[in-house]
Amino acid sequence: MMTKMNVKVCYLLPLILLLGLVSCGTQPDLEQPPTALKLPTLSTESSEEQRRPVTPTAQAVDLSHFQVPQHLAGLKLDGEIRTQRGRTLHYRSEDKKEQLSLTLSGLPTGWDNMPSERAVASHYSEARQRRVNEALQDSANALTILSETLLDLEGQPSAQAQMRWVERGRPIQNQSLLVTLIDGFYIRINNASYQQSSRWLLQQGKRALAEFKAAQKAVDS
């Protein structure tokens, strides 16, 4: 018998609904965010089929023109990972209890003409599935998605989520995820804390995004 994993996903807006709203051309109401709906029960069987990526691999792209701030949202740069398809900047607090990563990547092959709202929703879906797969690796893990929304953030289509993560031998960790698409490049911000709430982390992620964008404009000016 296949072991059931403890994956919790609570009160969130299904991606299918998000894509449906995009295809119908409905603009999100920033004053009154969409009502969260219960996601259909996730299958938590550990199988290779579930672990396949849900979107194509990003194209190899030149990301060298992006400037790297030494600080973002009060956190200090702690390292960078570069590949042909992306750059990930890691930031940490002095006490190492808060962490944030900012990942840059290009669009997958064939996505160039896709509506930007749908491209963001699809990229978010992949990131979300990776979190679920991580939870499936150990029966002691628990992932709770508290909220997720597709929205317009400073004129750019974006997706955001608040999460709670439980891992064997560790305290409960609050997390947030922010995905946006700017000038054909994805910017994905993940952050986590054992002290701050997921709502606070989401605001920190938005602050980090604003500071990162400001750093790029400072170089161009």
Q: Which DSSP string corresponds to 72-115?
A: ETTEEEEEEEE-SSEEEEEEE-TTSSEEEEEEEEEPBTT-TTS-
Distance CA 218, CA 212 (A): 10
pLDDT of residue 218: 79
Confidence of residue 160 (pLDDT cuts 50, 70, 90): very high
Give helix 116-136 / helix 15-23 axis angle, nearest 10°: 170
pLDDT of residue 7: 54
- Apex 192 CA angle, 82 and 117, nearest 5: 70
Residue 5 confidence (pLDDT) above 80: no
Residue 200 confidence (pLDDT) above 60: yes
pLDDT of residue 109: 86
Integer-rounded Cα Rg, in Å, for the chain is 17
Stronger pLDDT, 159 or 221, i.e. the higher one? 159
pLDDT of residue 96: 86
Q: What's the pLDDT tens digit per position in 164-190? A: 999 988 999 999 999 999 999 999 999
**15-31: average pLDDT:** 42
Task: Report the mean per-residue pLDDT for the chain.
Answer: 79
pLDDT of residue 85: 85
Q: Are 148 and 159 in contact (CB under 8 A)?
A: yes
Helix spans in 8-75 (H): 15-23
Both tokens assigned to 201: 């982390």
Distance CA 29, CA 20 (A): 15
| CA contacts within 13 A on the Cβ side of 185 | 17
pLDDT of residue 56: 59
Q: What's the pLDDT tens digit per position in 36-88? A: 333 333 333 444 444 444 455 666 788 999 999 999 999 999 999 998 889 99
Q: What's the pLDDT tens digit per position in 77-128? A: 999 999 888 999 999 999 888 999 999 999 988 888 899 999 999 999 999 9
pLDDT of residue 69: 96
- Domain boundaries along the sequence of the chain: 15-22+58-220
Partner residues linked to 162 by β-bridges: 147, 176
Distance CA 90, CA 46 (A): 30
Q: What's the pLDDT tens digit per position in 120-158? A: 999 999 999 998 998 888 888 999 999 999 999 989 999
Distance CA 156, CA 48 (A): 35
pLDDT of residue 110: 84
Q: Pick from 203, 202, 193, 192: which is nearest to 101 by CA?
A: 192
pLDDT of residue 210: 96
Query: 15-22+58-220 sits in which CATH class?
Result: alpha beta
pLDDT of residue 162: 96
